[in-house]
Amino acid sequence: MSQAIVDCQNLIKIHKQGNLEVVALHGLDFKMARGEFISVVGKSGAGKSTLLRILAGLDLPSAGKVSVADLSLTDLSQRDMTKHYRRRVGFLWQDFNRNLLPYLKARQNIELPMLLAGVGGRERKKRARQLLEATGLQNLAHATIHTMSGGQQQRLALCVALAGEPELLLADEPTGELDTETSLEIYELLRALNHEGLSILVVTHDVVLAKRSDRVVRLADGRLASQGAGEDYHVTVDPTGAVALPRDLLLAAGIEREAAAKLTPEGILIERREES
Amino acid sequence: MRLVTYMGLVARRIWSKRGILVGSLLGATLVTALLAIVPLYEASVQAVDLRFTVRGATSDTVDVGVFVPYRDYIPGVAAGNSELVADRADALLSDWYPERVERVQSREVVVIPLNFDWYGIAELWRDNIATAIEEELDPEEWPLPPYPTPPREPTITRILTSPDLAERLVVLAGAMPTAPPNLVADPAQPVAMALGEDVARIMGVDVGDQFLLRPFSGLQQIFELVEVAAIVEAADPGDKLWGIDQPGSMFYMTQENFDFWTTTLAVPAESDAWLREARGFVGIAATQRWTMGFDAETLEIEDLDSIRASIAQFRADVARDSDGTLAANSFLPQLLDKFDVRSVVIGAPILAILALVVGGALYFLIYTAALTLEREGPEMALLRTRGASSWQTVGIHLAQSLVIAVVAALAAPYVARWLVGLTGRVPPLSDLTGGQPLEVAQRRPLQPFLIGGAALTFLSMGLAIIPFARRRVLELRSLAARPGGKSVWQRYNLDLFAIALSLVVLFQISQRGFINFSGDEAKLDPLAIVFPVLLLFTGSLILLRVLPWLLRLIGWAMTKARSMSLALPGWHLGRNPIPYGRLALLVWLTTGLGAFALTYANTLDSSFTDRASFATGSDVRIVGEGAGYLEAPEGATAAAVLRTSGAPRNVRSRQAETLAVRPADFAEVVIWRDDFGGAPEALFASLRPGGPPDVGIELPALATAVTIDGVVIPRSWADQVELDLEDEDQAMRLLMRVFDSRGRVWTMAADEDWVDYEWRTATVDLTGGLNTNYLADPEPPLSIHSVWVERSGSVGADLLIDGESLLVRNLIVETDTGPLSLEDDFEELAPTNGFNLVDEVRADEAVRAFYSEVPPGEATPTSAERATSPLAASGTAQLWGLPRVRTRSNPVPQLRRVPDPISVLLDGEQAAQAGLTVGDRGFFTIAEDIVAVQMVGFIDQVPTMTDARTTGLIVTDLDGLSAYINGEARWSHRTALARVESPGELWIATDDTDAAIRQINAQYPESDAPDQILSLKASEAEVSSRPVQVGLVAILFVGAAVSVVLALAGVTSYVLLAVSRRTREMGVLRALGFGRAGVAATFAIEQVVVLGLGAVIGTIGGVALMRGMLPFLQLGETAIDIQPSVRLAVAWPILAGYLLVVGALLIGSVIWATRRVSATRMSEVLREVER
C-alpha cells in the first residue's frame, strides 16, 4: 500500500457541450497522502469540482491516470465502482438537500449506505449511533429531515458519508450554504475526523476555512497553481481595523494572544510579541 | 430481515411520493380495471342482449319439447315415459325450465250423433242373430253387426288429458268427471267427458246429452256412448298445455279417466247392444307430449355452455332410456349459437376499442413513470453515490412498481365492476336498463386479466427504470433539470422499421379479416384486437418523427412576432423541439381517442340511420297488394313502386331484383346516398328520356263510356242448322285494357255481347272495371291500351275463340259534352298475336255470310229480306278477325299499343350479364314477360333491394313497364284476365310518420290492412336499440372520458415538471425585467402551441383511425356485410365542441401549473440563477 491515497498523473478532462470543447483539467499532477486534509481552492472554472467528481468516480478523465487507494478509477467496472462508492469514498455535497433522502429519518439515512452494502442490522444501528454521537446529533436520531437546521442536516450528511467507513472523504463546498459559525463547526468536525485518520479532500471557495486544512491546493485553468506553506493568505479587515487571521497561521507564527504590527515598505508585518 | 428493511424503504418512498405515485396508481388501476372490464363488460352487455334475445323468441323456439306417438296408447307405457321425462328434466333442466306441462292427446275421434236409432237397429240385429241361431244358420251367414257409422260431415275432434287437467279448466256447466266409473256395477254406463265450449256449441249439446264417439282410424266396433258431463273453457287460453290447439274445440278427460277408458275393459256381452265383450277406446292412437317452459329470467350469460350441454344431455338421455321412442327437441341451442356468433361479431369492435383505451392508458402510465423517474434522477444519483448498485436501484423501483401493480390488481375488479355497472346508469345503455346499474355478468375468469393488467403496469413502470439505472450519476443528477433528447426509437431509426412492420401487419389483418368462421362458430382473430392499438402506435411514431419539424416551423413563424411573449416561446420551440414530443404525444392520444370515439359513435349512429333508411327506403313504406295506388297522405309525397324480378334473355343470366318506379316521384321520396349511383333526380330522370310513356289512346277527361257497334259474322244459315247452334254460341264480348291517370290498369268489359244474328252496340262503362282490388274508381284521363274480344262463354283458363270475325263500326267515346269518334285513334293500335284487322269492308258482310248457304228446303232470301235483316247495315265497317288457334299459350289476340323499349338502370353485374352498356338495347324477362329494354345508366344500390336470392339489380320506369306487362291480356276475364302486376308498394316522404300511417290505414276497408307498414322511425329504433350496439356506443364514451382524465393528469404533471425544470430560465427572464405575468404567459403560450398542435394532429389521427376501423363495423351482427356499406361520418360540430372542452381544460391546467411561475419569489429565482 502506497502512502498516497490519491494519485493523479497528467489528468485531462474535456467537457463537450455541443460543438464546443471546454478543457476542465489540463494535465493535472496531484498526490494526496493518506490521512491528509487538503482544501482545493481556485476560481470558478478552474477544475475543482471536476477533479472531485473524477476522484469520486462520478466522472471519467478524458486522459491521464487517476487512482484512489491504489485503485485506478479509469479501469473500474460498474460493480467495482459501486464498491468504490461503498468502501473507499464518502461524499458531501454543498446542497444538503442532495445529501439526504427527505423521506427517511436521520438514523435511517445513515443506515442506508450500510443497508445497500449489506451490513447487518445490529452493526448498522451501532455504527449509526456512533456517528450521531460523534456529530452531536444523538438526540435527533428519529428526527425527520425537514425539522433539522442546515447545520444539523450537513452534519447528518457527514454521518451518511462516513457510514460506509470510507478511506477518503470528498466534500464539494460543504459549507457553501452555511453561516460562518456553522461552517466552522463543520470544519472542526472534519478536522477531528482527520485526526482519527480519515483522508479528506474539500473543494471550497472559502480561503479562511481552507487554511484550516493541512494543505491548500490552488487550481487555475485546470492546472495546479500552488500548494503548501508560504502561500498567501487572504485576510479580511473590517472598518474598525480588526484583522481576522487564520488560526493555523497564527499558530505557525507562534502568535497566541498578542502580536506586534509594523509598517514596512511592502505592507504591514505582524510579528510574535513576547508576553509581557 | 434485510428484505423487510428494503420493503420498509420502499414503503417510505411510496408514502413520501404519494402525490406523484397516486397518478401512477390511478393509471395502473385504470389499465388493470380496463382489462378486467373486457370480460365483464362484454359479458354484461351480452347478458342484456341475451335477455332481449331469449325474451323476444317465441316459446316454441326456447321451450324443450318431448314427443312420443303411440299407435296403440297403453297407460302403463305412457306412465313410464312420463316418469323418465320427469326424472331427466328435474335432473338436467329444472334450473331454466321450472314449468313442465304434460299432455296426451288422442288422434281424431268422430262424433256419431244419436239422431239415428243405432240402438234400435242393434236390438233388431240381436233379434236377427237370435233367429239365426234358432234356425241354426251357419255363423258365416249371420247378419253383420250394424256398427254405427259417422255422418257424411261429422264433427271430428280430439280427446285431451293431462295429469293436472282440472286445474287448467274452468267448468262452465256440469261437473268435471274425476273418478273412473264402476263398470261392474253398471257395465252399460256411458263415458263421461267434458267438452270445450266451442265444440259443444257447434254440436249443439249440453250437459247430460249423449252421442257416440269412435276413433277416426279405429276398428268399427270400437266406439263408446259418451255423455256430456261438463262444458269447460281454458282457465288460460295461452297455456302451453294447449299448444297450437284451440282449447274450446276439444274433449277432455282426467288422466285417470283417460287411462281407464283406453284400457280393454271386459264387460258381459249381453250388457251391450252389439254384443261386444269389451269396452274402452282400445288401440286408440295418441301422442304424449311434454313441454318444458323456459323461464328467460333464469338464464344467465354464464349458463350458456351448461344449458346447451344440459339440453343435449337431456335429449340423449330420454332417447337412450326410451329406446329411441321419445324425441326431445328445442331450438334454444341454435338460437344461442346464433347469439354467440353475433356476440363475437359485435364484440370485436368493443374489444378493439377497449384495447385502444388500454393502450392509451398504458402510455399514460409509461409517461407518468418516466416523468416520475426524471424527477427522481437526483435521488437515484444519491443512492448510487451511497453505494447502491444498479440492481439495487432497479430493485427499489421494481418493488415500488410491484406494490402499485398489486394494489391496482386488488382494486381493479371493484373499479371494473363499478364502471361496468355505471354504464347502465348513463345513456345510451340506460334506455335499456331503465337507469339501473348494468347487471354485471361474468363468463370468463377475471384472474388472467388482472394478472395481465398487473404485469403490464408493472412492466411499463418498472422497465422504465432500467435505462435510467444504467446512466451515470452525473447524468442522473441532471435529469430533473434537463429533459432527455431523442428517443431510442429515433436515435437508431427503429421507428421507421416499426412503422414499416406495422404497415405490413395492418395489411395482413386487412387481408385476413378479423373474424374466422369454422362452421357456425365464429372466432375472433386476436391480431385484430390489437389492430387499433397498432394504428395508434404507428401514428405515434410518425408523429414523433414529424413533430420536431413542425415545431421548428411554428417556432420560426413565432419568432417573427413583435411580442416577446410570442417570440421567446418561438425560439424555445424552434431550438429544442424534441422534448415536446412526449407532451404532444399525450395530447394526440387524448384528442385522438376522443375524436376516434366520437367519430366511431357518429359513424355507428349514421350507419344505424343508413341501415334503417335502406331497409325502409323512405320515411314510410306500405307493402300490400295494390298499395302503390293508395292516396298519398296529406302533406306527404308518395311514389308507387313495383317490385319484381328480371333477368337478361341469355343462358347465363341470373335473376335480379327489379324495381319499377316513377322517376320524379321516386327521386323525391327515396332516402338516397350519393354513393348509390349519383344524384337521384338526374339518375331516375334518365328512365324517361322522352317524358311519360305513351300507353295508348288517350280519352278525353270527361269520357264516360266507349260504344262500338258490332256483329259477329255468322256461319251460314245452313251450317247453323246443321250444327244446331244456339243463339248464344257465337256471342262475343268486347274487352279493353285501360290505364287511368294514376297508372292503374283496368280491364273493362262491354255491357252486352256481340252476337251473330244482329248488330248490337256494346258499351264499355269507363267508370268501373272487372276483378280489381283497387280502393277507388278509375281516375281520368284514361288511355285505352288494348282491345280484344272473346267468346262470352269463356271460362277457366281457355280463351274460347275459333277464328271468328266481327264487323265493328261507330267507334265512339261518350263524354259529358257529347260523343267523339275513335275511328282514327283505333288505327294507332296494332293487331297482335294473330289478330287480323281489316279496315273498310262492306258493313253488310254479316248478311252475306249468313245467307251464303241456305239450308235445304229453305227459300233463298230476297233482297228486301236481306236489307231488313238485323245483320244488315249500310256503309263500311272494320273487320276484326280472330285466329283459329292462339299462337302462344298466354297472350290474347288483340289490338294494342306496342310499347317502346323501356329504359333500365343496371348495376355492373347485370350489365355484364346482359352484355349491355349505356345506350344499348336488348331483351329482358321482367315479371315473366319479355320486355325490350334500353340501358340508360348504371346504378349501384337502391334502398330495400337486399334480396339475397337475386343477383344484381334492375331499375326501370313503372309506367313503361306496366304498359308492357299489363297492357297485354293473357287470360279469360272471368278468371284472372285482369292479372295485373300492380305496384305493391307505396313509398312516402313525410314529416309526420304517425299521421301518414293513420291516413293510409284509413283508406283500407275495415278488417283489412296492408301486409306491412314499415317506417324509418321504427326501423331506426329497432336497429339502434340493440343492446350490443348500444353497449358499443357506451364504451366509446367511456373511452373518450378516460382519455380526457388521463390527458388532464398528464398535462398537469408535465407542466409542473417543466416549470420546476425551468425555474432558472424564468429567473433570468425576471431578472431581465420581464413581469411575472409576462413570464407566465411566455411559458403558457409555449405549452399551448404544443397542445394545439397535438390536438390538431390527434383529431386528424382519430378520424383516420376510425377510417381504419371501418371494416369492424362493416360486418353486421349476423356476420353478413351491412347494407349499405358503413361510411365514415364525422360529426364536426360535436368534435369541435369536444376539442373546445378538452382545450379549455388543458389550457386551464397549463395556466394552473404556470401559476407557480408568477408565484415564485424573486429571491428563489435569483438563487437558482446563481447556481
HEC per residue, B993-1028:
HHHHHHHHHHHCCCCCCCCEEEEHHHHHHHHHCCHH
Contacts of A79 in chain B (CB under 8 A): 389
For residue A59, give the nearest of B382, B388, B474 by CB distance. B474
Tell me which residue in A86, A101, A113 faces B379 most closely, judged by beta carbons.
Answer: A101
Yes or no, beta carbons of B474 and A53 under 8 Å apart:
yes
Residues 6+ apart with CB under 8 A from B880: B789, B805, B806, B807, B808, B835, B836, B837, B838, B895
- Taking 70 as the pLDDT cut, the residues of chain A under it are 1-2, 17-19, 96-98, 226-236, 244, 246-249, 251-252, 274-276
Q: Which residues contact B857 (CB under 8 A, 6 or more apart)?
A: none
Q: State the smallest CA–CA distance between residue A264 and chain B in angstroms.
A: 40
pLDDT (0 to 100) of residue B1169: 44
Mean pLDDT, range B158-178, rounded to an integer:
93
Residue B798 has pLDDT above 60, yes or no: no
Closest-CA residue of A relative to B377 is A98
ipTM confidence score: 0.71
Q: By mean pLDDT, which of A186-200, B533-547, B688-702 is the weakest?
A: B533-547
Strand, coil or helix: B1095: helix
pLDDT average, residue stretch B872-888: 82
Write out chain B residues lying below 8 Å of A100, CB-based: 382
pLDDT score of B976:
45
Gap from A52 CA to chain B (nearest CA, Å):
12
* CB–CB contact B9 A115 (8 Å): yes
Q: Best of A91, A101, A125, A153 to disrupt the B interface by mutation (most B CBs within 10 Å)? A: A101
β-strands B783-791, B760-765 pairing? unpaired
Cis upstream peptide for B781 (omega within 30°): yes
Q: Show the DSSP H helices in B214-269 as ranges.
A: 255-261
Would you call B9 and A112 a contact, using CB atoms and an 8 Å cutoff? yes
Could you give the count of Cα atoms lying within 13 Å of B651 in the half-sphere of its Cβ?
Answer: 0
What is d(CA B516, CA B537) in angstroms, rounded to the nearest whole number? 25
Q: What is the pLDDT of residues B84-137, one digit of tens each?
A: 999 999 999 999 999 899 999 999 999 998 878 888 889 899 888 888 888 888
Tell me which of B21, B376, B386 to substitute to probe the interface with A (most A C-beta atoms closer than 10 Å). Answer: B386
B50-68 pLDDT tens trace: 877 787 777 778 899 999 9
Overall average pLDDT of the B927-938 stretch: 88
Residue of A nearest to B5 (CA): A115
Percent of chain B with pLDDT over 90: 21
Give the span between the Cα atoms of B787 and B147, in whole angstroms. Answer: 63
Q: What Rg value do the Cα atoms of chain A yield, rounded?
A: 20
DSSP state of A86: I
Q: What does the pLDDT read at residue B661?
A: 93
> A130: exposed, middle or buried (C-beta count within 10 Å: 0-12, 13-18, 19+)?
middle
Q: What is the mean pLDDT of residues B254-274?
A: 90
pLDDT at B155: 86
Closest alpha carbon within chain B to A105? B12
User: What pLDDT was estimated at residue B791?
Assistant: 77
Q: Which residue has the higher pLDDT, B969 or B322?
A: B322
Contacts of B309 (CB under 8 A, 6+ apart): none
- Let me know if B930 is exposed, middle or buried by CB neighbors in 10 A (0-12, 13-18, 19+): exposed
* Least-confidence region, from B783-787, B955-959, B1116-1120: B1116-1120
Which pLDDT score, from 0 to 100, does residue B1071 have?
Answer: 64
Neighbouring residues of B908: CB distance < 8 A, sequence distance ≥ 6 = B938, B940, B952
- Say whether the peptide bond before residue B526 is cis (omega within 30 degrees of 0): no
- Convert the pLDDT of each residue in B461-499 to its tens digit: 777 777 676 677 766 666 555 555 566 666 677 778 878
Provide CB contacts within 8 A for B794, sequence distance 6+.
B800, B972, B973, B974
Q: Does B4 touch chain A (CB under 8 A)?
A: no
pLDDT at B1171: 43
Identify the pLDDT of residue A209: 75
Tell me the average pLDDT across B574-581.
Answer: 80
Structure confidence at residue B866 (pLDDT) = 87
**B395 compared with B259, residue with greater pLDDT:** B259
Nearest to B12 among A79, A104, A121 (CB): A104
Hunting for cell 514596512 — which residue is that? A264
Residue B921 has phi, psi (to 5 degrees) of -115, 155
Q: What is the mean pLDDT of residues B11-22?
A: 74
Nearest Cα of chain B lies from the Cα of A17 at a distance, in angstroms, of 14
Choose from A49, A80, A112, A165 for mutation: most chain B CBs within 10 A.
Answer: A112
Average pLDDT value for chain B: 82
Between A75-79, B144-148, B183-187, B1092-1096, the lowest mean confidence (pLDDT) is in A75-79
Q: What is the mean pLDDT of residues B311-321?
A: 93
**Residues B997-1009 pLDDT 10s:** 888 888 887 667 7
Q: What is the mean pLDDT of residues B213-220?
A: 87
pLDDT of B1117-1133, one tens digit each? 555 677 788 888 888 88
| Contact list, B377 vs chain A (CB under 8 Å) | none
Q: B415 vs chain A: nearest CA distance in angstroms?
A: 30
Q: Which residue has the cell 297485354?
A: B968
- Mean pLDDT highest for which of B590-599, B632-641, B1057-1066, B1144-1153? B632-641
Structure confidence at residue B42 as a pLDDT band (50, 70, 90): confident
pLDDT at B795 over 50: no
Query: Is A116 close to B382, i.e. CB distance below 8 A?
Result: no
The answer to whether the beta carbons of residues B549 and B500 sit under 8 Å apart is: no
- Chain B residue closest in CA terms to A96: B382
Residue B334: the pLDDT is 85
Give the 3-state secondary structure of residue B1122: coil
Can you give the pLDDT at residue B1072? 67
* Residues 6 or more apart whose Cβ sits within 8 Å of residue A171: A91, A92, A93, A161, A190, A200, A201, A202, A203
Q: What is the pLDDT of residues A144-165, one digit of tens each?
A: 888 888 888 888 888 888 888 8
Mean pLDDT of B375-401: 79
For chain A, the maximum distance between any two Cα atoms, rounded to a whole number of angstroms, is 67
Let me know the angle formed at the C-alpha of B373 by B367 and B377, rounded to the nearest 5 degrees. Answer: 145
